[in-house]
């Protein structure tokens, strides 16, 4: 829209048209529904005298404010007083068709006859946009007025919980923007006050309380009624009114047995009272259990069965409210601890204690005997990934991610690792928040001040496989001291070869004492050349001067898979005595 245009649009709404195919379908066919989203449109017009003519400027937009280029419009002009039509020169009033340019804009020049006239503009609509028509009275003897909201002061999000809200409007015209009395209303026509523009053309509305307003999409409308020098004008601004919520939850019984039904009761409310029909999701250790809706009094009851595998453990439950439409803000309850006991009577448990102690003693003795028979013991490296720390018993909720990065095979600290925490569930239209840190020489890293939500934690280091993990913030301290074990591409390449080479030796002990280059001698003649080539390729990656890259591993894995396909199905591996 040109800067000089005045907004005289329709209300901004979104329409859904559901088109369903009806008819007689074969028994094996399924009815299909097609959904088409049709947007409303608006036409913004501005008109002002330019010499001996009146210059009309306009733009066609959809309900999101996007311009619609190359669209056909029908424009007509007629006098306010029918008697003026007789005295006007031929061709001054009438109708014509126009097409918007690439920016959705159009211009029209009307010969000025010195009297007010009515400007009408209509759009017939298309496959995805509804038709619209707008009329505007034009008085060429008055200066055109442009009103616009100052977005540096007037936010598009209206927080209904704030004690005070400011709305600032700027007015301008060829006759100046000072001394104009402006009126502020909402989309329902409710008036919020009047203000007069100062010498700079600014008017400030200070709203003390919006407790009666409802959360959700809305609009601000500011009107100027016109005066002896300037024409009437209006401006609109789409806003979203928001209000915070509070979610309370409690366990009916916090000590249950496997197979029992656990129940959580609670209430959802905001500053005005209970919130009805709110979707409440109950999570256990970040796993969704059940979703229920609040009643008219804002209360809810969520029940679920306790699975047998949870016997003897403690569940951390949490109720969450995540609204599906803009308006009410999300909220989370305090954590709830659910203890899952054992249905086994205590008397029987004491009888099992001596048997358990005897079994432990026998296992320890047998383990020592086997260790004495073996000449060496292999220590398996820890698996790559993330190991969380210990949860704190306090109710404090942590907003920090931290820990140490180590090599999963050698357990040595790794510095210069790039650690990022990317927000996954941020509000729509807001840039994704990404927090970054770099591990120090001891492998330590820390990311502080995270807002509540779901995050994607990624740890990347040159020469190592990237670690990717989802994290929920706030937490109970377990994510403040994690151990991130990264696997090098060298180790990954060696693991690929070991998976194949183990098939050609008789025992694990013999395999551990045989080098990669010696293994092909143990292979049958048909596989010897392929195994030797695979060993050379592995040694090049494992012992090479540069760290392998991610693209170096797929050729090695394909060669290993091809070699395995030539082998018969493996027998059960022999046991080392």
Residue 283 sits in a domain of what CATH number?
A: 2.60.40.1930
Q: Are residues 211 and 156 part of one domain?
A: yes
Does some domain include residue 21? yes
- What are the tens digits of pLDDT across the range 542-556? 788 888 888 888 888
Q: What mean pLDDT do residues 414-440 have?
A: 85
Does some domain include residue 355? no
The structural domain count of the chain equals: 5
Residues 6+ apart with CB under 8 A from 51: none
- What are the tens digits of pLDDT across the range 214-238? 898 888 999 999 898 998 888 888 8
Write out the residue range of the structural domain in which residue 79 sits: 14-141
Residue 174 in 3-state DSSP?
Answer: coil
- What are the tens digits of pLDDT across the range 209-220? 787 788 988 889
81 neighbors 40 (Cβ within 8 angstroms): no
Q: Parallel, antiparallel, or unpaired for β 336-340 and 385-387?
A: unpaired
Q: What mean pLDDT do residues 295-320 have?
A: 90
Q: Are residues 153 and 110 part of one domain?
A: no
Q: Are residues 284 and 309 part of one domain?
A: yes
Does some domain include residue 189? yes
Residues 6+ apart with CB under 8 A from 548: 463, 489, 490, 492, 493, 541
What are residue 560's phi and psi, to 5 degrees?
Answer: -65, -40
Q: Are residues 519 and 463 part of one domain?
A: no
Q: Are residues 252 and 210 part of one domain?
A: no
CATH number of the domain bearing residue 448: 2.60.40
Does some domain include residue 4? no
Does some domain include residue 8? no
Tell me which residue has tokens 């989203």.
37
Q: Are residues 268 and 289 part of one domain?
A: yes
Does some domain include residue 414? no
pLDDT score of 22: 38
Does some domain include residue 377? no
Q: Are residues 135 and 20 part of one domain?
A: yes
Q: Are residues 129 and 31 part of one domain?
A: yes
- What are the tens digits of pLDDT across the range 462-519? 888 888 888 888 887 888 888 999 888 888 888 888 888 777 777 777 777 777 777 7
Q: Are residues 134 and 119 part of one domain?
A: yes
Domain limit, last residue, from 219, 242, 265: 242
Domain limit, last residue, from 118, 141, 164: 141
Whether the per-residue pLDDT at 122 is higher than 90: the answer is: yes
CATH number of the domain bearing residue 88: 2.60.40.10
Q: Are residues 548 and 460 part of one domain?
A: no
452 neighbors 475 (Cβ within 8 angstroms): no
Does some domain include residue 227? yes
Q: Are residues 150 and 136 part of one domain?
A: no
Q: Are residues 137 and 19 part of one domain?
A: yes
Residue 475's nearest CA partner among 418, 421, 411, 434 is: 421
Residue 368 in 3-state DSSP?
Answer: helix
Q: What mean pLDDT do residues 267-276 have?
A: 92
Higher pLDDT, 37 or 199: 199
Task: Order the strands of the 165-173 sheet from edge to edge.
Answer: 145-149, 165-173, 202-207
């Amino acid at each position: 829209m040109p800067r000089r245009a005045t907004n005289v649009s329709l209300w901004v709404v979104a329409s859904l048209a559901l088109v369903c195919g009806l008819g007689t379908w074969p028994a094996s066919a399924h009815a299909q529904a097609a959904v088409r989203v049709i947007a409303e449109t608006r036409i913004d017009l501005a008109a002002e005298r330019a010499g001996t003519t009146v210059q009309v400027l306009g733009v066609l937009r959809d309900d999101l404010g996007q311009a619609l280029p190359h669209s056909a419009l029908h424009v007509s002009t007629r006098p306010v007083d029918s008697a003026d039509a007789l005295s006007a020169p031929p061709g001054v009033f009438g109708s014509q068709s126009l097409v918007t340019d690439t920016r959705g804009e159009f211009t029209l020049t009307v010969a000025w006859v010195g009297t007010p006239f009515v400007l009408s503009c209509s759009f017939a609509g298309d496959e995805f946009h509804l038709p619209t028509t707008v009329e505007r009275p034009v008085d060429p003897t008055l200066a055109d007025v442009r009103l616009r909201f100052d977005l540096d002061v007037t936010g598009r999000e209206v927080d209904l919980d704030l004690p005070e809200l400011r709305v600032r409007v700027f007015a301008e015209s060829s006759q100046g923007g000072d001394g104009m009395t402006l009126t502020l209303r909402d989309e329902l026509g409710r008036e919020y006050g009047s203000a007069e523009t100062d010498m700079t053309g600014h008017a400030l509305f200070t709203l003390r309380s919006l407790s009666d307003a409802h959360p959700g999409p809305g609009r601000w409308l500011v009107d100027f009624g016109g005066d002896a020098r300037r024409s009437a004008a209006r401006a609109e601004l789409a806003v979203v009114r928001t209000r915070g919520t509070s979610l309370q939850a409690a366990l009916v019984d916090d000590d249950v047995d496997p197979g029992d039904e656990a129940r959580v009761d609670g209430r959802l409310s905001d500053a005005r009272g209970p919130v009805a029909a709110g979707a409440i999701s109950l999570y256990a250790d970040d796993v969704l259990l059940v979703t229920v809706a609040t009643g008219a009094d804002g209360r809810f009851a969520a029940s679920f069965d306790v699975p047998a595998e949870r016997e003897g453990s403690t569940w951390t439950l949490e109720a969450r409210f995540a609204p599906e439409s803009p308006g009410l803000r999300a909220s989370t309850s305090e954590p709830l601890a659910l203890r899952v006991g054992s249905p086994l009577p205590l008397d029987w448990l004491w009888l099992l204690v001596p048997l358990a102690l005897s079994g432990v003693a026998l296992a320890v003795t047998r383990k020592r005997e086997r260790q004495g028979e073996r000449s060496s013991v292999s220590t398996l490296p820890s698996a790559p990934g993330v190991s969380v720390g210990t949860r704190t018993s306090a109710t404090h909720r942590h907003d920090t991610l931290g820990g140490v990065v180590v090599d999963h095979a050698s357990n040595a600290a790794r510095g210069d690792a790039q650690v990022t925490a990317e927000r996954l569930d941020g509000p729509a239209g807001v840039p994704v928040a990404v927090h970054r840190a770099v591990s120090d020489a001891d492998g330590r890293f820390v990311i502080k001040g995270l807002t509540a939500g779901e995050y994607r934690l990624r740890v990347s280091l040159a020469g190592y496989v990237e670690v990717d993990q989802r994290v929920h913030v706030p937490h109970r301290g377990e994510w403040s001291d994690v151990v991130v074990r990264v696997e090098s591409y060298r180790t990954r390449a060696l693991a690929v070869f070991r998976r194949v080479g183990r098939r050609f030796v008789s025992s694990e002990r013999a395999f551990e004492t045989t080098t990669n280059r010696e293994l092909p001698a143990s292979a049958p003649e048909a596989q010897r050349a392929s195994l030797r080539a695979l060993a050379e390729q592995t040694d090049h990656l494992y012992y090479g001067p540069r760290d392998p890259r991610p693209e170096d591993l797929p050729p090695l894995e394909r060669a290993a898979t091809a070699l395995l396909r030539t082998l018969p199905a493996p027998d059960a591996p022999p046991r080392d005595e």
